[in-house]
């Protein structure tokens, strides 16, 4: 699903050159739930931005769902983001004066869906996150947990291959965080690949694999849980790859 | 996608109404002021008869009987030259005329109220040459006879706009029968009499046969030059009194050359008879060349128009600066949209839709402001009344100008909005 080989991302200004990612290699197979941990400034967000095609990289190779993204034009990158990736942000990133429906509808507007198709997809997504009855609410009328679930519905509406979550529970209390994590696990069990940046070691332990990034490189990995029985063959591939990473 | 972009534009306007109002006002004032000036320039510099302006020629001759004061061709002619021009069958049409004025009333009316009316004493060719539009009847067939054609405004005043053909007008005590009534007729500039500061006068109230006006002694209300004294216009036919203007319609180059030769040959006969002391120099100038040589476009208006263009540039910069702050505050949403799949092209189209919508509204407001500016101009400068007009072409130009300036104002802000990486926009 996601293959990065020796990817580097360097930020430069007049005086400083910062290696945010350094020879970064990672393989993530379909159906995996990977947690990414590490101290602040270690390169977690940079990794997620590069993985989500929100940022460019300077060296290396990156293949997403069989597509080598190097050298792709903006239109192609946008289509990849729209069709294959769903983003979940720490601060939800909902448009405050759009209704829940319109927020979830946003990514679908950039595909050639007609109104009926969009409506069906939005309703299905909201159904999945348990907010079908809140379609006409404004984000400000919802709790933090509900807002994050709307953001998850927005990410799911395009039926992406992979979900990229940047500290999805960072702004939530423990009860709401638990609800969101349960939702993510449910989605993963239904087959969605998830990569989640988190600071919470408990959450990191709940997933299939935890990789730790320090100074832009993977410094450690742990396997906490086997994949579902239906994904056994993939589990073996994942383990194989981890040994390469190690 | 268009409907979605329109919806987003409306959202955007609702989010920052004050800012967009300022942008709208800035662009509208700039475009409105420029349009008002262009309306004046367009009236002054426009082609009054585009369908045949290249075939109508003003005749200037230098038949002055001594070598002072006029060595250059003169725009007014003696009666004898005017008749020589009228006699020629080379032009398709020719018109010889002078301007006069009378008091007019319906001879059958009980009211003694008279209307001060401008008169064009002319030959029958005047009407086809100028394409004067008839509402009722037609022009007079001869240069003499007690007949008149009247303009729409006078017909409205005296006969309430009804068909007055066959009715009799009392003009300075003389009774003349109406053969035709013109439709409202506007010539901007009034090419057939653009000299002596009359280029933006209205068309005339009354058109009367030339010989009739001369016989009746209707005075000349225009420039005259003479080397002799005379008691009235009825005594000008065989004297060196210069007061008639002449226009001819020459359909092609061959006819132009033939008529030029005709004039030059006539001048040569005068020279041979010792009546043409100057070198022969007769000139034919088509409508636009003639108007251009007369420099009827007010240089102050041109200067003010140039200033309006510069002012509009300042308005565009101001609007751009306001929009830049708006787009800066929308940076996050741009980043979010790009993150979930909008391409740079999508964002640009969204921005352009917004600016086109803004431009359309600015266009309407700017045309209203143009109209107001012109009304104000007329209040302070009543002479502008006949030329301060917004015609359909200018209305269209105003709308286009508003659209172009609105889109131009958004170019730099849109470029800025799309130049960062998405991750930077989302921070």
Residue A2 in any domain: the answer is no
A148 touching B, CB under 8 A?
Answer: no
A87 interaction partners in chain B (CB closer than 8 Å): 339-340
* A45: nearest Cα among A89, A101, A92, A108: A89
- What are the tens digits of pLDDT across the range B210-255? 999 999 999 999 988 888 888 899 999 999 999 999 999 999 999 9
Of chain B, the percentage scoring pLDDT greater than 70 comes to 99
Domain count, chain A: 1
Are both B249 and B371 inside the same structural domain? no
What are A88's two structure tokens?
């979940």
| C-alpha closest to that of B64 among B277, B285, B233, B281 | B277
Q: Give the number of A-B residue pairs with CB atoms closer than 8 Å.
A: 64
User: Is the sign of the CA dihedral A237, A242, A243, A244 positive or negative?
Assistant: positive
pLDDT range class, residue A15, cuts 50, 70, 90 = confident
Which range among A153-157, B1-5, B94-98 shows the weakest confidence by mean pLDDT? B1-5
Examine residue A31 and state whether it is found in any structural domain, yes or no. yes
State how far the Cα of A183 lies from the Cα of B314, in Å rounded to an integer: 55
B273 and B321 inside one domain: no
In the block, tokens 């209203």 appear at: B368
Residue A228 pLDDT more than 60? no
Q: What domain range includes position B411? A: 2-47+298-426
| One domain for residues B37 and B99 | no
B26 and B70 belong to one structural domain: no
- Whether A56 maps to a domain, the answer reads no
Query: Of B281, B313, B334, which one is at a domain's C-terminal end?
Result: B281
Q: Is residue A123 part of a domain?
A: yes
Do A131 and A138 touch, CB atoms closer than 8 A? no
- Are residue B81 and residue B222 in the same domain, yes or no? yes
**Same domain membership, residue B303 and residue B275:** no
Residue B293 belongs to some domain of the structure: no
In a domain, A9, yes or no: no
pLDDT at B278: 86
Q: For B26-43, write each residue's pLDDT tens digit.
A: 999 999 999 999 988 888
Q: Tens of pLDDT along B316-334?
A: 999 999 999 888 888 888 8
In a domain? residue B84: yes
Average pLDDT over every residue of A1-16: 89
Does some domain include residue A33?
Answer: yes
**CATH code (residue A183):** 3.40.50.300
Q: Would A172 be classed as within a structural domain?
A: yes
Residues B238 and B138 in one domain: yes
For residue range B160-212, what is the model confidence (pLDDT) as tens digits?
999 999 999 999 999 999 999 999 998 888 999 988 888 888 999 999 999 99
- Strands B174-182 vs B147-150: parallel, antiparallel or unpaired: parallel
* Residue A246 confidence (pLDDT): 28
Clarify whether residues B185 and B334 are in a common domain: no
- B41 vs A121: CA distance, rounded Å: 59
Q: Tens digits of per-residue pLDDT, B41-82?
A: 888 888 899 999 999 999 999 898 876 655 678 899 999 999
Domain that holds residue A166: 26-43+82-245
Nearest CA in chain A to B332: A93
Based on the fold, state whether residues B320 and B412 are members of the same structural domain.
yes
Q: Based on the domain organization, do B156 and B276 belong to the same domain? A: yes
Question: A214 and A38 in contact (C-beta within 8 Å)?
Answer: yes
φ, ψ for residue A214 (rounded to 5)? -135, 130
Q: State the best of A11, A55, A69, A78 to mutate against chain B, taking most chain B CBs within 10 Å.
A: A78
Neighbouring residues of B197: CB distance < 8 A, sequence distance ≥ 6: none
Question: Considering the domain boundaries, does residue B107 fall inside one?
Answer: yes
Specify the pTM: 0.72
- What's the domain count of chain B? 2
Domain assignment present for residue B166? The answer is yes
CB within 8 Å of B36: residues ≥ 6 apart: B308, B369, B370, B373, B374, B377, B388
Q: Give me the residues of A, 154-173, that contact B with CB < 8 A.
A: 154, 158
Q: Is A216 touching B (CB cutoff 8 A)?
A: no
Ramachandran area for residue A121 (φ above 0: left; ψ -120 to 50: alpha; else beta): alpha
Predicted local confidence at residue B67, as pLDDT: 64
**Cis peptide upstream of residue B315 (ω within 30 degrees of 0):** no
Token pair recorded at residue A192: 């969605």
Q: Is A53 helix (H, G, I), strand (E, B) or coil?
A: coil
Q: What is the mean pLDDT of chain B?
A: 91
Of all residues in chain B, the one with the smallest CA distance to A45 is B423
Are residues B137 and B75 part of one domain?
yes
Query: Interior CA angle at B300 toward B299 and B306, to 5°?
Result: 90
Q: Which of these three, B254, B281, B308, is where a domain ends?
A: B281
Q: Is residue A230 part of a domain?
A: yes
Which candidate from B336, B345, B423 shows the least CB-CB separation from A55?
B423
Q: Which residues of A touch B339 (CB under 8 A)?
A: 52, 54, 81, 87
Give mean pLDDT, residues B109-122: 94
The ipTM assigned to this model is: 0.86
Asked whether residue A17 carries a pLDDT value surpassing 90, the answer given is no
In terms of CA atoms, which chain B residue is nearest residue A86? B340
Is B413 found in the same domain as B307? yes
CB contact under 8 A, A95 and B333: yes
Residue B177 resides in a domain: yes
């Amino acid at each position: 699903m996601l293959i990065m080989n020796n990817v580097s991302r360097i930020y430069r200004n007049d005086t400083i050159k910062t290696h945010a990612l350094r020879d970064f290699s990672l393989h993530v197979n379909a159906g995996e739930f990977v947690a990414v941990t590490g101290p602040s400034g270690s390169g977690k967000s940079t990794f997620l931005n590069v993985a989500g095609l929100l940022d460019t990289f300077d060296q290396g190779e990156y293949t997403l769902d069989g597509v080598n993204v190097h050298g792709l034009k903006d239109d192609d990158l946008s289509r990849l983001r729209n069709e294959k990736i769903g983003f979940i942000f720490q601060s939800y990133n909902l448009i405050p004066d759009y209704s829940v429906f319109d927020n979830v509808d946003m990514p679908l507007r950039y595909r050639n869906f007609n109104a009926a198709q969009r409506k069906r997809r939005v309703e299905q997504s909201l159904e999945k996150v348990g907010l079908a009855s809140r379609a006409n609410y404004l984000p400000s009328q919802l709790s933090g947990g509900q807002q994050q679930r709307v953001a998850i519905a927005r990410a799911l509406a395009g039926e992406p291959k992979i979900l990229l979550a940047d500290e999805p529970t960072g702004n939530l209390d423990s009860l709401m965080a638990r609800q969101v994590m349960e939702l993510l696990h449910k989605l993963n069990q239904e087959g969605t690949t998830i990569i989640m940046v988190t600071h919470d070691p408990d959450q990191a332990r709940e997933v299939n694999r935890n990789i730790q990034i320090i100074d832009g490189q993977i410094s450690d990995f742990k396997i906490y849980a086997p994949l579902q029985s239906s994904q056994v063959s993939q589990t073996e591939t994942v383990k194989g790859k981890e040994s390469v990473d190690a | 996608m268009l409907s979605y972009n329109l919806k987003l534009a409306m959202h955007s306007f609702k989010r920052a109404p004050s800012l967009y109002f300022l942008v709208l006002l800035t662009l509208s004032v700039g475009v409105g002021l420029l349009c008002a000036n262009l309306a004046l320039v367009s009236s002054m510099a426009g082609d009054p008869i585009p369908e045949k302006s290249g075939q109508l020629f003003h005749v200037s001759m230098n038949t002055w009987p001594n070598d002072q004061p006029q060595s250059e061709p003169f725009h007014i002619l003696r009666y004898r030259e005017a008749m020589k021009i009228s006699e020629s069958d080379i032009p398709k049409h020719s018109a010889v005329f002078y301007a006069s004025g009378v008091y007019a009333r319906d001879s059958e009316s009980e009211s003694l109220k008279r209307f001060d009316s401008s008169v064009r004493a002319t030959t029958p060719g005047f009407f086809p040459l100028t394409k004067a539009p008839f509402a009722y009847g037609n022009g007079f067939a001869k240069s003499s006879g007690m007949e008149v054609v009247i303009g729409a405004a006078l017909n409205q005043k005296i006969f309430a706009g009804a068909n007055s053909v066959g009715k009799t007008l009392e003009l300075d005590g003389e009774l003349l029968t109406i053969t035709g009534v013109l439709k409202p007729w506007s010539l901007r500039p009034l090419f057939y009499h653009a000299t002596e500061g009359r280029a933006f006068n209205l068309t005339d109230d009354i058109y009367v046969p030339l010989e009739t006006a001369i016989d009746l002694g209707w005075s000349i209300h225009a420039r005259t030059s003479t080397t002799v004294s005379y008691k009235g216009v009825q005594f000008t036919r065989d004297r060196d009194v210069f007061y008639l203007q002449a226009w001819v319609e020459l359909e092609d180059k061959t006819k132009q050359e033939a008529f030029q030769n005709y004039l030059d040959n006539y001048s040569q006969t005068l020279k041979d008879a010792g009546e043409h002391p100057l070198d022969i120099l007769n000139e034919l100038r088509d409508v636009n060349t003639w108007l251009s040589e007369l420099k009827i476009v007010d240089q102050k208006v041109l200067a003010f128009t140039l200033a309006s263009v510069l002012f509009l540039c300042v308005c565009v910069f101001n609007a751009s600066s306001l929009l830049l702050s708006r787009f800066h505050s929308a940076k996050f949403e741009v980043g979010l949209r790009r993150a979930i799949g909008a391409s740079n092209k999508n964002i640009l189209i969204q921005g352009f839709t917004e600016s086109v919508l803004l431009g359309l509204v600015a266009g309407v407001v700017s045309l209203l402001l143009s109209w107001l500016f012109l009304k104000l101009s007329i209040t302070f400068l009543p002479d502008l009344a006949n030329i301060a007009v917004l015609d359909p072409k200018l209305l269209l130009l105003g709308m286009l100008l508003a659209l172009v300036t609105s889109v131009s104002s958004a170019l730099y802000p849109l470029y800025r909005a799309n130049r960062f990486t998405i991750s930077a926009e989302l921070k």
